[in-house]
Copies of this chain bind each other. A is one copy, B any other.
Amino acid sequence: MGEKTKAHELAEKQKEISISEFFTKNRHLLGFDNPTRALLMAVKEAVDNSLDACDEASILPELIIEIKELSEERFRVIVEDNGPGILKQNLPNVFGKLLYGSKFHRYVQNRGQQGIGISAVVLYSQLTTGKPIKVISRISEKRPAYYYELNIDTLKNEPKILKENEVEWKKSHGIRVEIELEGRYLKGKQSVDEYVKQVAVVNPHAEIIYTNPDNEKINFPRATNELPRQAQEIKPHPYGLELGNLISMLSVTKARSLTGFFTGDFSRVGKKTAEEICEKAKIKSEASPRLITRDQAELLLKSIKETKIMAPSADCLSPIGAELLEKSMKKEFVADYYATVSRSPDVYRGFPFLIEVGIAYGGDLPKDEQVRLLRFANRVPLLYQQGACALTESFAETNWKPYGLQQSGLNPPVGPALVVVQISSVWVPFTSEAKEAVAHYPEIIKELKLALQDCGRKLGIYIRKHVHAQEQRDKANLFENYIPELASSLSNISGESKTEIEAKLKKILKKNIKEILGEINNEAQE
């Protein structure tokens, strides 16, 4: 019985893989696949966290972002906020442990959601420079500020603290992170400069002071002093629940009856609905959740699907709002016309979400280029993976011709316009851990198209009324200039008075213009 089989040999190689090792080897999954993108990711993850923390603590954010070029391929990124700070005992895990955070287990709209972001930056910094992250945190003026230098023990996925002491700091609360990494600084549509500008557009309540590696200091003042609506945490909705989740919820609930379980652990389920669910499944509503078998859980799930339950509340969402979106767009893009739409919330897989769209037209926008699309998810600009994103696809698949833009096939439209699209949700379904593209859920695509069409119609009315009318007037003026010459030719041929012919021609022109312009105005008032 003691022989050593092939299975024994293989067994010696089987071992656990730490999540830090996994993402070190697979760092492209997190967006660190080239130096340009890596620099952006570092800024992005730090900024996401700062804005989230300020929003949760109801603080108007003041962000200082600074990138210093140390050598052609090495940069220092500093992000400082006035947020609530992080407790001393939690700080090392927040920065030095992957899959650790406050957002993953909750149903509430946040920029971060996975507990990976900032620690992935630390991992990448360590991989490319061997240097630790430097963090200052302070939670109140009554307490000292703490300074940490730490990196990640990748084998254990645990923070390794290299330095830890009290420091003097001018701020009464906030976080300051300083991180060194291999990167590349480029200008353009996927640059950090562009990212910061777009952050300002969808976060009109934030003040940002940004210094880029060229030592240009750019200020983005607030467009409003009002805090965004505080997103409320909600409980899961029974629709979209999966059997495995139901079984595990039943096994850990504190409720002592099914009625208590359904009304207490879910949103939008009252006593009557809970009893209806149990009755349809032919299970007593007083039954203890912990004694429910797999087969009974399956019956309950079936019965949930057959029971009418109110849609989830939208309190958990914090959209920008049509008015404020327009205000921010005006601040950052010079155009002749702006239109914005903020839809009502809808639901996919049980998660509430909401779509907002804005269009700017004319002005400084380039005339003969493809219309630029700016994508956002929970107020975070998405600069990469445009082709794989449901927002891009819905934009290109919308028929823009009726709204006055040129378009061929399923390509993006052409014209002097710019489109902003944002999805807000408690759980944005990203296609990868890098969180740059939204997955193709049919419910999301439907809402996107409705919002784009809605905005498109507004644009169409404007273009017909102002742009086409002007074009018509220009044409009429052009024609009017030829009337004297035409009249004189006609007078020569017919022998009639030139003045009379001229008068008649002007009358006809005037009459027709009125008709043409009348039509345009009527259409515009539809």
Which A residues contact B (CB, under 8 angstroms)? 1, 3, 5-8, 10-11, 13-19, 21-22, 24-26, 28-29, 33, 53, 56-57, 59, 84-87, 89-90, 93-94, 97, 99-106, 114-115, 126-131, 139-140, 142-143, 154, 173, 242-245, 247-248, 294, 297-298, 387-388, 427, 429, 431-433, 439
Give me 17 other A-B pairs in contact (C-beta within 8 A), A11-B86, A130-B247, A130-B297 excluded: A6-B57, A7-B85, A7-B139, A10-B56, A13-B102, A15-B102, A15-B105, A16-B97, A17-B100, A17-B105, A21-B105, A22-B104, A25-B427, A126-B244, A127-B242, A128-B244, A431-B432
A102 adjacent to B244 (CB under 8 Å): no
- Determine which of B10, B16, B143, B173 lies in contact with A1 in the assembled complex, contact meaning CB atoms within 8 Å: B143
Chain B contacts of A99 at CB under 8 A? Answer: 16-19, 22
How many copies of the polypeptide does the oligomer hold?
A: 2
Measured between C-beta atoms, what is the minimum distance from A254 to chain B in Å? Answer: 16
Expressed in whole angstroms, the minimum distance between the Cβ of A392 and any Cβ of chain B is 13
Residues on B with beta carbons closer than 8 Å to the beta carbon of A90? 11, 14
Chain B residue numbers with a CB within 8 Å of A297 are 130
**Contacting residues, chain B, for A59 (C-beta < 8 A):** 6
B10 in contact with A128 (CB, 8 Å)? no
Q: Which residue of the partner chain B has the closest CB to A114? A: B22
Residues of B within 8 A of A15 (CB): 100-102, 105
Contact A16/B84 with A3-B142, A5-B173, A56-B6 known, Cβ cut-off 8 Å: no
Known contacts A29-B432, A127-B245, A298-B130; is A84 also within 8 Å of B13 by CB?
no
Residues on B with C-beta less than 8 A from A16 are 93, 97, 99-100
Expressed in whole angstroms, the minimum distance between the Cβ of A51 and any Cβ of chain B is 14
Nearest B residue to A28 by beta-carbon distance? B439
A295 closest partner in B (C-beta): B130
Return chain B residues, CB-CB under 8 Å to A242.
127-128
